[in-house]
Structure 1
Amino acid sequence: MEEVSNGIKILKMLKQIMYIIKQKMKYECKDLDITGPQGILMGILTHYGEMKISDISKKLGLSNSTVSGIIDRLEKHGLVERIRSTEDRRVVYVRVTPDFKKTFQKYFSEAERRFEEAINKATPEELNKIFEGLNTLKEVLERQKE
């Protein structure tokens, strides 16, 4: 039987980590009746304020069309709104609606606290390994650009 390449092992592990994070976000967002990815997007908007879809896509690591679909569903539920730029009508920003922002901030703060609590259970040595490993992976992948 052929051994799995290192690249595939890394991708599988990253996928498993993202799955765990999405499941935790799904659990945190269940009372709000939104999905994990919708919750993550709402968290980004709550944290950073209004943003262009392309900027949200970069933060989430998803395509513009995928993010646009998530925003469409959130907009139908009155959770986000699109605003045209006054300087350039072609530019559209997305922001959390004021009413929902207050409600969501409570949930997002709680989810953030729980995630931080889980991470704080790691020893300083484990945290250093995590940061070093992720930074090394990032550096290796950035070398491919050159």
Structure 2
Amino acid sequence: MNVRKINDSLTDIYFHLHYKHEEALTHQNIRCMQMIKKQKEATVKDLSEVLDVTHHTASEHVKRLINKNILQKERSTHDKRIVYVKLTPYGEEVLQRNTELDEGKLEMILERFTAEDQERIIDAFSILRAEIKQVYSN
């Protein structure tokens, strides 16, 4: 029952407070971008493992996102054989719009709470985030 309540709350929060999506992207496109953002130095091989797809399929996702100016490739400075996939500045903006809450809307809602209640909300999310990172860290 608690799981259902949390899921209902989070989906309502995202539904009402998300940014307007301007780009036509797949769920796998977004997952690629999130992984690149979180891992910092991601390769096509890393993406294929996270998405559970072949190297070729991951490479095709990367090519499409490069063509949309969302991703770029960059050779490692330490080992020229390694090629990393990076978000472009535009890709950073696209990822924010497709995964984060609209800060203006969120600010407007938070202003309706007391400072104490705002801190309680922040603390609850921080506790949940810390536990998630501990359980699902690679």
TM-score of the aligned structures, taking structure 1 as reference length: 0.50
Q: Describe the SS at the equivalent of 2:66.
A: helix
Match of 2:37 among 37, 46, 50: 46
Q: Does 1:74 pair with 2:94? A: no
Instruction: In structure 1, list runs of 5 or more residues that go unmatched.
Output: 1-27, 111-146
Question: Residue 67 of structure 1 aligns to which amino acid in structure 2?
Answer: A
Q: Corresponding residue for 1:98?
A: 89
Counterparts of 1:46 and 1:29, CA distance in 2: 21
Cα deviations by residue, 1:121-145 (Å, 9 ceiling, x for unpaired)? xxxxxxxxxxxxxxxxxxxxxxxxx
Counterparts of residues 1-146 of structure 1 (less than 5 Å): 31-110=22-101
Aligned length in residues: 83
User: Contact conserved, 1:29 with 1:35, CA < 8 A, in 2?
Assistant: no
Counterparts of 1:35 and 1:102, CA distance in 2: 16
Let me know the Cα RMSD of the aligned residues: 2.1
Instruction: In structure 2, list runs of 5 or more residues that go unmatched.
Output: 1-18, 102-138
Q: Corresponding residue for 2:134?
A: none
Q: Describe the SS at the equivalent of 1:31.
A: coil
Q: CA deviation at 1:30?
A: 5.6
Cα deviations by residue, 1:50-79 (Å, 9 ceiling, x for unpaired)? 301111111111111100010001001100
Cα separation, partners in 2 of 1:57 and 1:109, compared to 1, 3 Å: same
Structure (1 or 2) with the greater helix fraction: 1
Q: CA deviation at 1:48?
A: 2.2
Q: Describe the SS at the equivalent of 1:82.
A: strand
User: Contact conserved, 2:20 with 2:97, CA < 8 A, in 1?
Assistant: no
Question: Residue 85 of structure 1 aligns to which amino acid in structure 2?
Answer: S
User: Contact conserved, 1:82 with 1:94, CA < 8 A, in 2?
Assistant: yes
Cα separation, partners in 2 of 1:79 and 1:55, compared to 1, 3 Å: same
Q: Percent identity?
A: 25
Higher relative contact order (CA 8 A, sep 6+): 2
